[in-house]
Amino acid sequence: MEAEIKEKIVSMEKPHMEAPPDWQPVIMGILCNWCSYAGSDLTGTSRIQYPPNIRIIRVPCSSRVDPWFIIKSLQTIADGVLISGCHPGDCHYISGNYYARRRFLVTKKLLNFVGFHENRVQFSWVSAAEGAKFAKVVTKVTEDIRKLGPLHLYKKENS
Amino acid sequence: MKLTTYSTDQAGLQAFYEAIIRAHDTYGPVEKFGKFDFKKVNSLSECDPESPIPRTMSVKPLFFPKSAKVMKYTATSAGTELSDTAEDPLAGKRVILGVKHCDARGLQVLDAVYKWDYIDTDYEKRRENTILISPRCDQAATHCFCTSLDYDLETLDAVDVAVINGADRKIYLQARTEKGETFLKENATGLTSANGSAEAEMKKQYETFAASFRLKMNYQEINERMQGQFDSPTFEEVPSSCVSCNTCAFVCPTCHCFKISDEKIRDKGVRYKSYDSCNNVYFTLMAGGHNPRPVKYRRWRQRAMHKFVYYKERFGVNLCIGCGKCTTSCPVNISIFEVVTKVASSMQE
Amino acid sequence: MDYTKQIQDIAGRLFSEGKIDIFIGYRNTGFDENQVPVLIHQYKDVDQLLFTDKSVFNLANYLKYEHTRNKRVGLIVKGCDSRALNLMLTESQVKRENLYIIGIACEGVVNETGEKAQNCVECMMPDAVVYDELLGSATGKREYQVNADIRELDEKTLTDRVEYFEEIFENCIRCNACRHSCPLCYCAKCCIDQETATLFHGANTTSSAFHALMTWSLHLAGRCVDCRNCEKACPIHLPLHLLHKLNEKVIYENFQENLAGMTEGDRGAFYKYSLSDPDDFIL
Amino acid sequence: MICKVDKIIQETPDICTYRLKFRDESLTEQFDWLPGQFIEFSLLGSGECTFCIASSATRKGTFDCSIKRAGIVTADIHRDIDEGDEVGIRGPYGNWFPLEDLKGKNLLFVGGGIGLAPLRSLIQYAIDNRNQYADCTILYGARTSADLCYKEEIEEWKTNKSLRVILTIDKPEDTWKEHVGVVPKILEEVVKPKVENTKVITCGPPIMIKYTLLALDRLGFAPKDVITTLEMKMQCGLGKCGRCNIGSTYVCKDGPVFTYEELKRLPDEF
């Protein structure tokens, strides 16, 4: 029991902050145009259910994602970010996702270092044929964020 | 007006500070990342009122914060609503310990611009509700030249209570303003009225302090000479190693330029007033691309001339107060003292 | 480490042969022991120059300003500075034929308290890697070791790290001295300059500081040469090296890349990839 | 103060005139200004910008701001504001044209591009108080005929017998029937103004002002008879933020209207 509580505290950014009762996580989904966006389309056309918490932005390639996008999302409305691109080797631009992979790792580690839980920023490879996988990924990310609660770190103030 | 002086010793002073911290909202110099900065304190052990110069920041952020909310608004399709921000956290009655004399003078200089024409009520309120308790330095730091400027440090009335070391480990608390006088009377428990030798001892302390300055300038002469130096080539020469960051203005106790900016998410937004610096390339860049000060030396010239000539011309006081913070904080150690003395002397050549 | 005499001789020779228009070096302030970078245009000013272990500032920074553009410049570079210069050459910011570079086999500079600076203690490549003339004797490349501060912070819990970093971002005054004194931040319009930023139009808030420092350090990841101009420039003395060092550590551990700018043409870890890069963090 | 955008008039491809009305009607009576003054116009979320009021207080009820798309905020204004939207304004700030000094004098307006906006305020004022002023001449130039602002109003001015209107564009165009040439040239060759008892009010791009001032000098105008409005980046309009500092002068408080004589005394920084 005690270990569990400790585990919980250790993995929280601000353990004393309680989530409001009607809170729903907001997830920023940045999807590559050629694979993941098509994949999410397929999820819809195949009528697979997934949580409505994700807000999707389409980019040409996962390597288009500047770390700045992730930071901006986290600072404005998002509680978590999901970035999705083509599987390695499938990139429309031959090697974009290989470059992106390196950048994502560093971004994730740095954000974790300054205090964001590692589940706040997640990455996935979803191809245009993997509608079911997209639904699974979004469900997993949503549940992860729901467990972590709302993000309170370095939010841009608007009130 | 005859102002009272009290005398005490080190232990008495500590007790005096502790009593103040218990009774009032108190701010003091707190050590952060190896430098002292003014923060709210709850006990004397957290801060060090006698912390040495140079410090990172002056007391300016407590009166003119690095970023303050001006107003809030909601803009929806139904209409726009403006509202005031939550209560100003700096406006309440408070005491600031360990303010250096130069910082206090900086506030006095700022009063001129804030009380000119439009009166900045927030600033005025913060000033009115604050008591500055200020230990006089015993030793000048490397870049200080406060004694050389156009104000009398010895009897400076910008501080409310001056704390001065006398002979034989005695410490004198001297009220300098009426506000300080009432404050001292209310909080003078455990302090005794100073005896006859106090005046002489304080004078002696000032003399040794004044003698410890390495940097001295003839202010009158510099001010007069700078007036004709707008086109001096020295402005291009000396600050050529400036990297155009904004550090000098942000740490300066008297720099008061600011910018107004909006931040909005969805329907709600806040308007901020934040520090800005004339050394910034974008400072005077106008929409359309015209910039009156596109190059580094012009921006430096504006800074130096504003500090030593323009403000004096307009408001009758010198804007630079000789605290040396800009020089200490400068990434490349450019000294404003060096720049102005060189510019002023370049006329003879 | 004192090359004052040699540098004065070289600079004097270059000016009298007419090989350079500007020489960038260090001079004494005359007020304290710190040194001011100085841009010299004539032979007669050469005797101002000096070089000791207090010659801290990275002079490659001055190559990004308009008054050194397309001029023939002589400058002094230490180990870290030379790697920054190499990156600038690679990224086409300066032309090699315009430069006359005096390389130093550096023995380390001192910090404010007079001890050897932390980055010099950890330095992996103290010798200049690009130069026309090398002063001192080269000692070669050293082993990579993880920065002690990073190791200490890594062991802390997430909650503790949040507290630690919140204090850092809260104290930042957004003066942008870090970005302006970085030789690799040569963009004329920077995404963290408040006037051009699209996220923060100027407010100096904690969240703005977070955005600026994080974006800035991620844009420098894989390129940072650890000269610590930024940290020395910071008026608040924020430990900015933590962000860069963490990036460096992640890059070293996962992609086995370190020491950006060792050779000309090497653009850093983010400009190449390997098929075997770690993939386990991706769903 | 919150205003509603009553009407948007597309003057040229990149200049729009916004006709503003107070949301709270009672403010209309209180809000009074003189030609030459400016307001701080804010689009909430984007920021604030300084614009001069381009209409005269003699025509109550609404007031105009002409805005050229140039920077970040102005681009947002052009993109985001539709008729009926709400914007914030502060003001009026700054000084105004010396109306008392101008009484009984001949007025010569020299404007270029968007620089007609502050002059329009005074021109309207002069038209509405026509008996107070002697001859009025308006010289207005732009790069092309498409860049001329207030075309309809200029037509109106042309039909007004008491005004002399001279238009010019920089380069010849097929359908253009008026003068061709830069403003200073037309000023010397076509307008040939009388020097006696005449005040010149000029505003335009910096380069035009520079050569116009030289041309006026050649024509024999005394510096104190030449009035111009100065552009400088401003943020507060209250003499605090220090942006519009030129020497010890604050443009937002002591300006934006200066005579050439006053300008000569200022350091050369605009």
Q: Could you state, in order of their start, the residue ranges of all structural domains in chain B? A: 5-211, 219-345
pLDDT at residue C145 in the model: 86
Compute the average pLDDT of residues B32-48: 83
Distance from the B277 Cα atom to the nearest Cα atom in chain A, whole angstroms: 23
For residues D52 and D38, the answer to whether their CB atoms sit within 8 Å is yes
What's the whole-model pTM score?
A: 0.90
Contacts of B285 in chain D (CB under 8 A): 233
pLDDT at residue A6 in the model: 56
pLDDT at residue A5 in the model: 55
- The total number of structural domains in chain A stands at 1
Fold assignment, D2-93:
Elongation Factor Tu (Ef-tu); domain 3 (2.40.30)
- From D47, which residue of chain C is nearest by alpha-carbon distance? C201
Residue type, C65: Y
Q: pLDDT tens-digit profile of D92-121?
A: 888 888 888 888 888 888 888 888 888 888
Contacts of D47 in chain C (CB under 8 A): 201
Contacts of B263 in chain A (CB under 8 A): 156-158
Distance from the B87 Cα atom to the nearest Cα atom in chain A, whole angstroms: 13
Domain boundary among C87, C107, C135: C135
pLDDT at residue A35 in the model: 92
Fold assignment, D99-229:
Rossmann fold (3.40.50)
Q: Is residue A12 in some structural domain?
A: no
Q: Which domain holds residue A46?
A: 25-148
CA distance A82 to C230: 32
Contacts of B327 in chain C (CB under 8 A): 31
Contacts of B81 in chain A (CB under 8 A): none
Pairing between β-strand D2-12 and β-strand C133-135 as defined by DSSP bridges:
unpaired
- The total number of structural domains in chain C stands at 2
Can you spell out the DSSP letters for chain A? -HHHHHHHHHT-SSTTPPPPTT----EEEEEETTTHHHHHHHHHHTT----TTEEEEEES-GGG--HHHHHHHHHTT-SEEEEEEPPTT--TTSSHHHHHHHHHHHHHHHHHHTT--GGGEEEEE--TT-HHHHHHHHHHHHHHHHHH----TTPPP--
Comparing B266 with D8, the larger pLDDT belongs to: D8
Inspect the interface and report whether the beta carbons of A105 and C254 lie closer than 8 Å. Answer: yes
Comparing A140 with D260, the larger pLDDT belongs to: A140
Range picked from A68-77, A149-158, B163-172, D145-154 for highest mean pLDDT: A68-77
pLDDT at residue D182 in the model: 84
- From D48, which residue of chain C is nearest by alpha-carbon distance? C201
Which residue numbers of D have CB closer than 8 Å to B's CBs? 2, 23, 42, 44-49, 68, 70-74, 86, 88, 206, 231-233, 235-236, 238-243, 245-248, 253, 267-270
Size of interface A-B (CB pairs under 8 A): 17
pLDDT at residue D7 in the model: 85
* Chain B adjacent subunits, 3+ CB pairs under 8 A: A, C, D
pLDDT at residue C283 in the model: 82
Closest CA to A153 of A95, A75, A80: A75
Report the SS3 class of residue B73: strand
Q: Is residue A83 in some structural domain?
A: yes
pLDDT at residue A10 in the model: 54
Residues of chain C with pLDDT under 70: 196-201
Q: Is residue A63 in some structural domain?
A: yes
Q: Is residue C282 in some structural domain?
A: no
Inspect the interface and report whether the beta carbons of D240 and B118 lie closer than 8 Å. Answer: yes
Residues of chain A with pLDDT under 50: none
Which residue numbers of C have CB closer than 8 Å to D's CBs? 201
The sign of the CA dihedral B96, B100, B103, B109 is: positive
Percentage of residues in chain D having pLDDT higher than 70? 99
Q: From the CB of residue C276, how many other CB atoms can be counted at a distance below 10 Å?
A: 7
CA distance A101 to C273: 9
Is D131 a residue whose pLDDT tops 60?
yes
B114, B255, B286: which to substitute to probe chain D, counting the most D Cβ within 10 Å?
Answer: B286
Sheet holding D47-52, edge to edge: D47-52, D38-43, D86-93, D2-12, D15-22, D63-68
CATH number at residue A136: 3.40.50
Tell which B residues from 243 to 262 touch C, by Cβ distance under 8 Å: 243-247, 249-251, 259-262
Closest CA to C56 of C147, C131, C117, C8: C117
Is B92 a residue whose pLDDT tops 90?
no
- From A77, which residue of chain B is nearest by alpha-carbon distance? B265
Q: From the CB of residue D259, how many other CB atoms can be counted at a distance below 10 Å?
A: 18
Contacts of B72 in chain A (CB under 8 A): 159
Compute the average pLDDT of residues D183-189: 82
The answer to whether residues C130 and C51 belong to one domain is yes
Comparing C264 with D268, the larger pLDDT belongs to: C264
Q: pLDDT tens-digit profile of D1-41?
A: 788 888 888 888 888 888 888 888 888 878 888 888 888 88
For chain D, the structural domain boundaries read 2-93, 99-229
Q: Is residue A8 in some structural domain?
A: no
pLDDT at residue B44 in the model: 86
CA distance C162 to C167: 9
